[in-house]
Structure 1
Amino acid sequence: MQFKHPEILYFLFLLAIPILVHLFQLRRFKKEYFTNVRLLKELSIQTRKSSQIKKWLLLATRLLLLTCIILAFAQPFFKAKDSISSTNEMYVVLDNSFSMQAKGQKGELLKRAIEDLLEHVPENQNFSLITNSETFWNTDIKSIRSALQNLKYSPLPFQLESAMAKIKSHKSAFNKDVIIISDAVGLEQKQLKSISKDLNALFIVPKAEQKNNIAVDSVYIKQTLDDFYEIAIKLSGYGEDFESIPIALYNKEKLIAKTLVPLESKQKTINFTIPKEDFHGYVAITDNALQYDNNLFFSISKPKKIAVLSIGDYEKSNFLSRIYTKDEFNYNNFTLESLDYNILENQDAIILNELKEIPQALQTTLKSFIEKGGNLIFIPSNESSTSNINTVLSNFGKIQFKSLQNSEKLVTKIAFNNPLYQSVFEKQIANFQYPNTKFSFQIDGSNPAILSFEDQSVFLTALPNQLSSVYIFTAAINKTNSNFQNSPLIVPTFYNMAQSTSKTGVSSLIIGENNPILVDVTLAKDEIVNVSSNTKITSGEKFIPVQQILNNKVKISCNDYPEIAGNFGIYKKEELLKNVSFNYNRTESNLATTNENLLSDYKVINSIETVFETLQQDRTNTEIWKWFVILTLLFLVTEVFIQKFVK
């Protein structure tokens, strides 16, 4: 037992006063002699004995009464178990990612967590609240009640490292309690390493009852016909025992197709045929699990002719004119001597076809061309020096050509998952007509092969960047050195390498990934473009993206905007320049990725109520001065009772 005011215990010396009063009687008695009063003497003896007992009882009662009063003023208490942490600052990390939409026993996980916070956090408790999207420093539950009740789900996945970094940056002389409320979906061991040893981390892991979920994963053009696109929609199922689900396709919010899809496996691809025109809509499914991944917004622009320029000998470039036909491409071929550099920036793809040497002026122009979103296809010449080739390629990435090998090789391996062949093969094939080469360069680089030789060396690879790609062959493909021109691979390979993402393909961007967008527009000095919603779903949202003028193009970056997924348009004032679509990241779709086992080394608490009750009990001193006040009153009543009833 300890005392808040131990100095008051000195008053215990006052206990000597009642002792002195009771031991030394100051009254004097006079002797009076009477006649023979034997009976009176016996009565006097009995009275004195009774009086002595009463005095001792009163002495004990007064001593105890005075002792209790003094102890009560000294305020005794029993020290708390965890009194050292009683001054800790409190931080609450609340996961409001989309996976917290899942339903537990008492409703949606996030909404239930908010209700528990509002109900069980003491009103006088000062704390800081950190969510995926918002931060509230040094507040209390009354001040943020409205903000908590209106807290929305965030498209940002739960990142424990980010929350810990914010807490560490909030400098303080006190230790910190961190209460982490998350369903632990996607939690990884490396994220837990961000929790410092000096932090008292407590986890609350709300659990979803229903783990099944179906998500619209992606959409792409599977096949391009004369007047139609065949688009493929990929569905991903998480869990087991799925029922058939309805899937609908909308163009500008108008329903154009609907079907019922049985999900026999965890991956399912559904095909729709749409006109070869502008498409600006979304695909939607209906399931009873998470809602955020049930819609996928995408845009397809009406195909425009792609400008392709080949630089090389006419004889070696004849095969390209048969691939890049006039109905889809504006194809031209120039020798290096007749090339007009001014037309390069107007191209979508440039092919360097077996040039013996590439001058510095062309290298500089090509570097600028790549930065503005153009594709480059490099085919080496057997007569080129490796030093000149490496000088050219160093402008685009880390790859080095080595010596020319004089040995025949077969091209036997295709990277079917590479975007170049994504819509080419319906299934992987093992037997096809293997093209060969007689001379080829060895290369040194970490980029994966798109086509490989039988000895696993690279025949075709790519150096990707944000806006375009640089495709690199390691061997000349003229008919003298190779029969690749006669291979079935020649058409889809060169056809897809020339495709411009700004003119063809599906636009379906992920919010937060910050992929640049190229827009064909010429802006004046003070003009800007803006991104604005043009559907009812995202009605009203408008923002100005980061933008960079590139001659007759503008490169824009949207960072973490828009806040709501949907169909948008890029506008120059009121003029629509391009349709774009934004979607939430699908990383939260799999509810089965909850990794509670990783938390075995941490304190996992069942509920918010338990957390605050436990902390309060462990860190609050047990005050007992009230008991001494009660004892004082009890002894006071006892004294009155003795005075009145004891003779």
Structure 2
Amino acid sequence: MSFIYPIFLWGLTALAIPIIVHLFNFRKAKKISFSNVRFLESVKKKSSSNLRIRHLLILLCRLLFIFFLILTFAQPVIPSKEDGLRSKSVAIYLDNSNSLSNLTVNDVSGFNEILSVAQEITLLYSSETKFSLITNDFLPGSHIGRSKNKTSEKLTEIEYSNLSRNGKEIFSKLRAGDPNEIKDVFVLTDFQQSTFGDLSLFKDSINFYHLVATDLLKSKNISVDTVFLTNPFLVPNQKNSVRVRIKNQGSEINDLHVKFLINGRQSGTSSIDIGANDSKEIVFELTGGLTKLNRCQISFEDFPISFDNDYYFALNQAGKINIVEIFDTFNNPISQVYKNNDLFNFTSFHLENISYPVLESADLIIINGLPTLENGLKAQIEKQLELGKSVLFIPKGGEFAEYEFAGLRIIKDSVGVKTPLNVPDVANPFYENIFESLSSDTQMPLVSSIYNWPNRDITLLRTKTGHSYLSRISHTGNLYLLASPLTSIYTNFHQHALFVPVMHRIAELSGSNNQPLAYSVDETNISLTVDSIPSGQLYKLMKEDGELIPSQRIKANELLLDMPKYLLSPGYYDLMLGGQRISALAFNHSKKESELKTWPIEEIEAQLSGIQHLQIYQSQDARAFSKIMKEKYHQRELWKYALVLSLIFLFAESVLLRFL
């Protein structure tokens, strides 16, 4: 035990005063006359004995009263076990992501538990301490210090955030400000593996860190993993279906009811069983009643994690893909693929009768067997590629030896023997959702590759001899190159079952309707295909509760939107331009947030071993945490106990004087 003001201990000399008063009683005796003093001897003996005991008790009470009163002024304390919690600058990170809606062992949400802990942290410091309070929203000015009272008020205003942050972002934000200032840093989170990430590279030898990990129940949750269309383009009057993969993180689930809604109306329902830590795919057929822009939703019931029980996505009907073919000799296979298809707007021109206004509006230009490329056509091809459009180049056979355009030389090679193509690699994104699987025994078309080009391409089809037959070269748009004409002299590719799906995919990837079904609320930016931004107008994102005007720019035919992440919420937004609804967009919580597995305490210590001043706590209820921190870092003040004891002995003295 030690004293904050030991100089007051000199006051213990005052203990001599009641002793002196007791020893030297200067009161004058009172003279009383008695007629008969025969019985006074026994009375005197009995009275003096009682009086001596009474005086000693009164003396003891006076001494103890003075003793404890002096100790009160000297303020005795029991020193803390460790040095800490003395900084005048404190930074608190409070994780308010949706994963903390999970229940703790105390049967409260993890968010409410760490919120109470944060309130207790402010009480551990003096009123002069400045607190900076940081949440997942990373709001401007959150690193600026506030008083204890202001911080307590701010804590009562915090709600769940739609954003998740990784460990590096969190620690970088906590270190913002004066790099030479030493702070006490508190990190209150569930240490979710999918979002917090790897912290082994983070080092800090200046600040003092206190990490508080919530003790959540088992990481059990059901969420939507993926949603996609069987046919990636939604075309009127064509059959299509929505494929939904439901993911289960936890024990086996039986009879889970999954609803599919289109524009607020239930369109389908399914009851499924999912094994432990497994997933299952559901297919919902798209029937009539679809409009041009459709708001769709997958919904189910799951407790206690309910923030991801609804998954929003938009089904926008595909606009027609404009395809223009320029030919020298009419080639029927190309026309057969694209004509009489609701998805394509197909036009053919002879090389001597090209309509350049139509060519400019094309999403895909097919150069089919031209002997040469005139300068005007070259310039138009290069312009379309720079605008993000696509070009499919099919050479002409015979004596024509060379083509040169878009910075590329296509050279005729010696005509070889026809060889079969290799089986396409279904893992290539180009073939996504075209083939489920292909066997090495599949009979492939025969080709004779008579042209080649510099090896800076992505090969989509290759011969068994290793020659590129169909390649894609990426500019701003995509240039597809075929190594031979589509005639029976050189190949039977155009007669093979592989031809139509490959040609369809080239056209589909050239279309402007490449918008994902849904976005995540924490995406930094999104890209949408548009024609242009009219002068003086901006695209807006409209929702029932307001509108957003994100920072935007046009690159080629793409609209790039820089998203204000902390303002986005799950649900639907309409992309508006000048009062016209251009497209429907859907936003959801990050899929990572639905993966509830957390880092064990031992793993956190291993990852953060580079931080010198570090303490890790398993979150308990707020009062228990506060008690642990006080016992560890606070000296125990005893002056209150001394004051109470001094008052008790003062009261005891009064009782003795009155009743004894």
- Kindly indicate whether residue 309 of structure 2 is the aligned counterpart of residue 294 of structure 1: yes
Q: How many angstroms does 1:180 deviate by? A: 2.6
- Equivalent position of 1:605 in the other structure: 618
Q: Secondary structure at 1:190's aligned position in 2?
A: coil
Structure 1 residue runs of 5 or longer lacking an equivalent are: 22-58, 394-400, 534-538, 641-647
CA distance in 2: counterparts of 1:303 and 1:61, whole angstroms: 95
Shift of the 253–521 alpha-carbon distance from structure 1 to 2, 3 Å rule, reads farther
Letter in 1 for 2:133: L
What does residue 92 of structure 2 align with? 92
**Deviation at residue 301 of structure 1 after TM alignment:** 3.4
Equivalent residue letter for 1:547: Q
Percent identity over the alignment is 18
The one-letter code matched in structure 1 to 2:590 is: N
Residue 501 of structure 2 is aligned to residue 492 of structure 1 = yes
Distance change in 2, residues 1:96/1:368 (3 Å): farther
CA spacing shift, 1:142–1:68, aligned 2, 3 Å: closer
The 1-side partners of 2:451 and 2:187 are apart by 61
Quickly say closer, same or farther: Cα 1:288–1:104, change in 2 above 3 A.
farther
Determine if contact 1:284/1:295 at 8 Å carries over to the other structure. yes
Query: Residue in 1 aligned with 2:585?
Result: 580
In 2 relative to 1, CA 109–361 (structure 1 residues): closer, same or farther, beyond 3 Å?
A: farther
Distance 1:636 1:330, change over 3 A: closer
Partner of 2:389: 374
Describe the superposition over 1:440-495 as per-residue Cα deviations: whole angstroms up to 9, x where unpaired.
658656x8754455577865555679xx7525447445445544333322211121
* Bigger mean CA deviation after superposition, 67-76 or 539-548: 67-76
Corresponding residue to 1:194 among 167, 187, 202: 202
Q: In the TM superposition, what is the alpha-carbon distance from 1:204 to its structure 2 partner?
A: 1.2
2:346 corresponds to 1:330: yes
Is 1:274 the counterpart of 2:287? The answer is yes
User: CA offsets per residue over residues 13-46 of structure 1, 9 Å max, x none?
Assistant: 999999999xxxxxxxxxxxxxxxxxxxxxxxxx
The equivalent of 1:128 in structure 2 is 132
TM-score, normalised by the number of residues in structure 1: 0.74
SS of the residue corresponding to residue 182 of structure 2 reads: coil
Aligned CA distance change for structure 1 residues 79 and 115 (closer, same or farther; 3 Å): closer
**Which 10-residue stretch deviates more, 132-141 or 485-494?**
132-141
Any residues of structure 2 matched to 1:405-424 within 5 Å, and which?
A: 410-424=420-434
2:395, 2:484 within 8 Å by CA — same for their partners in 1? yes
Structure 1 residues 2, 558: closer, same or farther in 2, change over 3 A? same
CA offset digits 1:239-276 (Å, max 9, x no partner): 34122333333232123333334446513141413347
TM-score (norm 2): 0.72
Q: What is residue 644 of structure 1 aligned with on the other side?
A: none
SS of 2:116's partner is: helix
Are the aligned partners of 2:378 and 2:406 in contact in 1 as well (CA < 8 Å)?
no
Q: Note closer, same or farther for the CA distance 1:334–1:594 as it changes in structure 2 (3 Å cut).
A: farther
Aligned CA distance change for structure 1 residues 512 and 69 (closer, same or farther; 3 Å): closer
Deviations 1:102-134 (A, max 9, x none): 344455634432553376445474533222124
The CA deviation string for residues 591-623 of structure 1, in whole angstroms up to 9 with x for no partner, is 346566531436242325244333222222234
Residue correspondence of structure 1 range 104-115 to structure 2 within 5 A? 104-106=104-106, 109-113=109-113
Confirm or deny: 8 A CA contact 1:100 1:183 kept in the other structure. Answer: no
- Deviations 1:379-411, CA, capped at 9 Å, x for gaps: 6789448xx678359xxxxxxx99979877643
After TM superposition, give the deviation of residue 166 of structure 1 in Å. Answer: 1.0
Separation in 1, partners of 2:600, 2:368: 52
Structure 1 pair 626/223, CA: closer, same or farther in 2 (3 Å)? closer
Match of 1:559 in 2: 563
User: Structure 1 residue 280: deviation in Å?
Assistant: 0.4
Matched to 1:434, the amino acid is M
Q: Aligned partners of 1:356, 1:320: CA distance in 2, in Å?
A: 18
Q: Which residue of 1 aligns with 2:335?
A: 321
Question: Aligned residue for 2:162?
Answer: 155
Shift of the 186–364 alpha-carbon distance from structure 1 to 2, 3 Å rule, reads farther
1:585/1:200 Cα in 2 relative to 1: closer, same or farther (>3 Å)?
Answer: closer
Supply the distance in 1 between the matched residues of 2:481 and 2:537 (Cα, whole angstroms).
41
Distance 1:279 1:163 in 2: 39
More divergent stretch after superposition (569-578 vs 454-463): 454-463
Cα distance change, pair 237–301 in 1 and its aligned pair in 2 (3 A)? closer
CA deviations on 1:150-180 (whole Å, 9 max, x unpaired) are 5443332232221111111132622322223
* Residue aligning to 1:246: 257
Task: Give the corresponding residue for 1:48.
Answer: none
What is the rounded CA distance, in whole Å, between the counterparts of 1:639 and 1:107 in structure 2? 52
State yes or no: 1:178 paired with 2:183: no
**Contact (CA 8 Å) 2:416, 2:450: kept in 1 or not?**
yes
Residues 416 and 201 of structure 1: CA distance in aligned 2, closer, same or farther (over 3 Å)? farther
Distance in 2, Cα, partners of 1:433 & 1:204: 59
Matched, 1:542 2:547: yes
DSSP 3-state at the match of 2:497: coil
Distance 2:465 2:601 in 1: 45
Q: 1:192 to 1:504 in 2, by over 3 A?
A: closer
Quote the offset at 1:85 in angstroms: 4.7
Q: State whether residues 402 and 443 of structure 1, in contact with CA within 8 Å, keep that contact through their aligned partners in structure 2.
A: no
* C-alpha spacing 1:522/1:450, structure 2 compared with 1 (3 Å): same
Deviations 1:183-236 (A, max 9, x none): 514156524533534441413133134614132521224387882331232213
Sort the Cα spacing of 1:102 and 1:142 in 2 relative to 1 into closer, same or farther, 3 A.
same
Give the secondary-structure state (helix, strand or coil) at the position aligned to 1:113: helix
Name 1:138's counterpart in structure 2.
Answer: 145
Letter in 2 for 1:493: V
Q: Supply the AA of the counterpart residue of 1:237.
A: K
Partner-residue secondary structure (3-state), 2:240: strand
Q: State how many pairs are aligned.
A: 601
Q: Is the 8 A contact 1:87 1:174 kept in 2?
A: yes
Q: Distance in 1 between matches of 2:261 and 2:494?
A: 41
**Alpha-carbon separation, structure 1, partners of 2:163 and 2:453:** 43
Q: CA RMSD, aligned part only?
A: 5.2
Greater Cα offset, 73-82 or 92-101: 73-82
Distance 1:600 1:341, change over 3 A: same
Distance 1:72 1:117 in 2: 32
Question: Could you tell me whether the CA contact under 8 Å between 1:532 and 1:543 is conserved in 2?
Answer: yes
Residue 346 of structure 1: CA displacement?
1.4
Decide whether aligned partners of structure 1 residues 402 and 629 sit closer, same or farther in structure 2, where only a CA change above 3 A counts: farther
The answer to whether the Cα contact below 8 Å between 1:298 and 1:508 also exists between their aligned partners in 2 is: yes
Contact 1:213 1:590 in 2 (8 A): no
CA distance in structure 1 between the partners assigned to 2:393 and 2:98 by the alignment: 44
The aligned counterpart of 1:257 is 268
CA distance in 1, matches of 2:184, 2:465: 58
From the superposition, tell whether residues 93 and 580 of structure 1 become closer, same or farther in structure 2 (CA, over 3 Å): same
> Are the equivalent residues in 1 in contact too, given 2:119–2:155 (CA < 8 A)?
no
* Aligned-partner residue type, residue 127 of structure 1: F
CA distance in 2, matches of 1:593, 1:15: 62
Q: Is the 8 A contact 1:605 1:611 kept in 2?
A: no
Check 1:8–1:151 CA distance in 2 against 1; reply closer, same or farther (3 A cut).
closer
CA contact (8 A) 2:261 2:268 kept: yes
- Unpaired runs of at least 5, structure 2: 22-58, 607-614, 655-660
- Give the aligned residue type for 2:112: R
Q: Measured at CA, do residues 359 and 207 of structure 1 come closer, stay the same or move farther in structure 2, by a change above 3 Å?
A: farther
The 10-residue stretch of structure 1 (580-589 or 491-500) with the greater mean CA deviation from structure 2? 580-589
Change (3 A) 1:108 1:73: closer
Measured in 1, the distance between the counterparts of 2:103 and 2:473 equals: 44
Q: Deviations 1:335-375 (Å, cap 9, x if unpaired)? A: 4x876665544121234557798789877765654454423
